[in-house]
A and B are shown apart, each in its own frame.
Chain A
Amino acid sequence: MEDTSEAVRKIIEGFGSIVLNVEAVHGLPVVKVPKEDLPVIAHFIHTAPSLRGTLSLQWAVDLRPGERRFQLYYLFSLKERGDWLVLLTELDGDDRLFHSITPHIHAAKWYEREIRDMFGLIAQGHPDLRRLVRHEHWPKGAHPLKKDFPWNTVMERRQGEYAFRRIDGEGVLEVPVGPIHAGIIESGHFRFSVAGEPIMQLELRHFWKHRGVEKVFENLSLVNGVSLAEKVSGDTSFGHSLCYCQAVETLMGVEAPPRARYLRTIFLELERLHNHIGDVGAICNDTAYALAHAHCARMKERIMQLNDRLTGSRFLRGVNIAGGVTVNLWPYHLDEIVHELDEIEEDFTELTQILFNNASLADRLETTGVLNERTAWDHGVMGVVGRASNINRDVRRDHPFAAYKDFTLKVPVYHYGDVQARMRVRIDEVHESIDLIRQAHERLPEGAITAACLPAAHPGDWALSAVEGWRGEILYFVMAGQDGMIHRCKARDPSFVNWPAIQFAVLGNIIPDFPLINKSFNLSYAGNDL
């Protein structure tokens, strides 16, 4: 917090005459500035050597029916430790234009396109204003998150085609892939331009799975939103529901009891474990190493069966509620977890030793799909993918939530940025997760698992919450509405940030390596498309 107030002081020092207002919202510094001056200040935060802020999230809020105004929020994570700072600007009345920060900050590119699609607010000076979420068959003027757009609108279909960036030239071919893929994977479209085998350009066309999650949230009460948060990205059900619950708890001014926070830590690490182990296997599978895949799938299945026995859900659904958790773990449960994990760790260690001794596997993984540190930083890449490219960020350490402040956490960081590095980050984190669960098991406090009462949230109040899911930093912005409803909920899966980066990681690689690179990122389509 000291560093952050230092940042606020620096901004006031440089732009004192411009800044309209500085306040702290639930401990988060919010600097309000006029829209004309926002790009300059954002650029300052991004480039000043003492701040070096990366854009973590940008989102808009329609304040109607209460007030005829739109708000635009920009969340920056500063320097190594990732302290937060929010810039806020407002568009009054019928104003639909704001100034783009994308020319200076690449990470804003998709956010500004998303805001344009969802709110009809246009980022002036944005280099690429093609539609992002709205596919071409959507009617003109359909901006779902505007308050005057009914949630159950039936949209007519019109004609239209997305204008992909094209490379023309002799021998240059376009290879379209998707939206339906060959394996059992989610839907998304990839457009490769190749000359011979190496990829010259990859362009993503996602949002096939856009379900209107953020609009459906606005129909739910703060308490009931949890079950929708679980469905934002199924593989991260627990991470998303935890992040949502934390935001709601901040709004209600309650804190989950200590035991609940420890249990949340255990469950979150279990979710990380089964996904990471499954991913290591899937990476091996894409190099045709089927035996390693089978072993990993077996271990993953074992953890998912453990989840099922502990909570009645293989995906840990229905565990989180606002104010705590619904499932208590009894001593025999805890012994079972520790015993299972002891066996799995031994099993997994033995397997990874075999993997790292396999020269033909190393040949496929090393120097494949390199995402260099500069590109990763420019795009604000986070999570497993970021840590493999020397971005030393982990919410569990930088902004401890649940019970993480009680534990020591080693954050594995590699700087090669290739598939091998991403696999190594996962393997290291598997051991770290098992260790965290052991620590939590030893120190698990007694007591209640839910907060005694849930006070009503103040309408118009908002809170931001972050959780390090297994993919990376999950963010939720929740604004309370009238009568305990949600006015606005912005859910951000790390996939939304990391997807654009994959377009750079594949350059120069051959198309047959794309599935391998894509698997090493393993990003969510559902969490991205919302």
Chain B
Amino acid sequence: MFRILRKSLKTGIVTGQHDASSTSTPTVAGESAEKARSFRRSLAIREVDSGSCNGCEMEMNALMNPVYDAERFGIHIAASPRHADALVVTGPVTVNMEKALKDAYRATPDPKLVIALGDCACDCGMFKGSYAVTGPVERHVPVDVKVPGCPPRPAEILQALQTLMGHAGVAVKGRALKPKG
């Protein structure tokens, strides 16, 4: 117990040690911005995988690691859509996941936000037209913000979520764990 605490003290704080997002901030349209206003201080997210390759899931997980530590901005992951303010949907919506996605959307209390994460969720990516895919996400549930990328980097996801929450003024200024080159 003391050894791991000592190790943590020795390691110090790593939060924020990443490159800043280099993509432009997504725009949040009128009604979405209105809805998002209720979640300025805290946003409970339910992640729904509708057929992604697991890349976006890994980056969502990375968002919770000590380096990005999204919790410091009030962003946390809810275990059920019933506890969520926002759904983060990844993947092109497969025929098999279509119903589960709609169920999760219905189970989320209003007002709610939907974030389409990754190229597949935004426009089906390479799977556009496939017999097994019925997406993109916005065909089935209304989408408030799209975060493109394959997969988007955690810094980009964090930036999008902060924009959504109206934190634009406190955008993270990152610095890599190790300097470049």
A interface residue numbers (CB < 8 A to B): 135, 137-138, 142, 144, 149-155, 157, 179-180, 182-187, 207-212, 215-216, 227-228, 231-235, 237, 291-292, 294-295, 297-298, 300-302, 304-306, 308-309, 314-315, 317, 332, 336, 340, 350-351, 354, 357, 524-526, 529
Contacts and interface: CB of A to CB of B under 8 A. Distances in A.
B62 A234 contact: no
B131 A152 contact: yes
A115 to B, nearest CB: 17
Ranked 9 nearest A-B pairs via Cβ: A234-B55, A212-B132, A234-B53, A297-B65, A182-B79, A212-B130, A234-B54, A153-B131, A152-B129
Contacts of A144: 131-132
B55 A237 contact: yes
B65 A155 contact: no
Contacts of B94: 208-211
Contacts of A142: 131
Interface residues of B, number: 59
Contact of A354 (B4, B66, B96): B4
A433 B63 CA distance: 26
A182 B58 CA distance: 15
A294 B65 contact: yes
A301 B65 contact: yes
A216 B4 contact: no
A185 B57 contact: yes
Contacts of B57: 184-186, 234
Interface stretch (B6-14, B29-37, B138-146, B158-166): B6-14
B137 interface: no
Contacts of B130: 151-152, 211-212, 215-216
Interface string B44-86: 0001111111111111111011111000000001011100000
Contact of B54 (A149, A211, A235): A235
B148 interface: no
A406 B160 CA distance: 46
Given A152-B130, A317-B150, A210 B96 contact: yes
Contacts of A157: 95
Contacts of B48: 180, 187
Contacts of B58: 234-235, 315
Contact of A184 (B8, B61, B151): B61
B112 interface: no
A300 B64 CA distance: 13
B52 A298 contact: no
Given A151-B131, A183-B79, A207 B96 contact: yes
Contacts of A183: 77, 79
Most B C-beta atoms less than 10 A away, residue of A150, A157, A301: A301
Contacts of A524: 54
B100 A208 contact: yes
Contacts of B126: 216, 227-228, 231
B177 interface: yes
A235 B55 contact: yes
A155 to B, nearest CB: 6
Q: By DSSP majority rule, is chain A's interface helix, strand, loop, or mixed? A: loop
B176 A305 contact: yes
Contact of A186 (B3, B54, B64, B81): B54
Contact of A315 (B11, B50, B55, B80): B55
B136 interface: no
A291 B56 CA distance: 24
Contact of A155 (B81, B127, B129, B131): B131
B172 interface: no
A315 B51 contact: no
Interface string B76-108: 010111000000000110111101100010000
A216 B178 CA distance: 39
Contacts of A154: 131
B181 interface: yes
Most A C-beta atoms less than 10 A away, residue of B50, B54, B58, B60: B54
Contact of A526 (B53, B65, B67, B177): B53
Interface in B1-28: 3-5, 7-8, 11, 14, 18-19
B8 A186 contact: no
Nearest to A228: B126
29 contacts: A138-B95, A144-B132, A187-B50, A208-B100, A209-B49, A209-B52, A211-B51, A211-B130, A211-B132, A211-B133, A212-B127, A212-B130, A215-B130, A215-B132, A216-B127, A231-B53, A234-B53, A291-B5, A294-B66, A302-B178, A305-B18, A306-B178, A308-B19, A315-B151, A340-B178, A354-B7, A525-B54, A526-B53, A526-B54
A154 B180 CA distance: 48
A210 B8 contact: no
B127 to A, nearest CB: 5
Contacts of B177: 301-302, 305
Contacts of A526: 51-54
B48 to A, nearest CB: 6
B54 A332 contact: no
A420 B63 CA distance: 27
Given A142-B131, A152-B130, A231-B126, 5 more contacts: A144-B132, A151-B131, A182-B80, A211-B51, A526-B52
A494 to B, nearest CB: 14
B133 to A, nearest CB: 6
A149 B51 contact: no
Contacts of B129: 151-152
A234 to B, nearest CB: 3
A212 B129 CA distance: 10
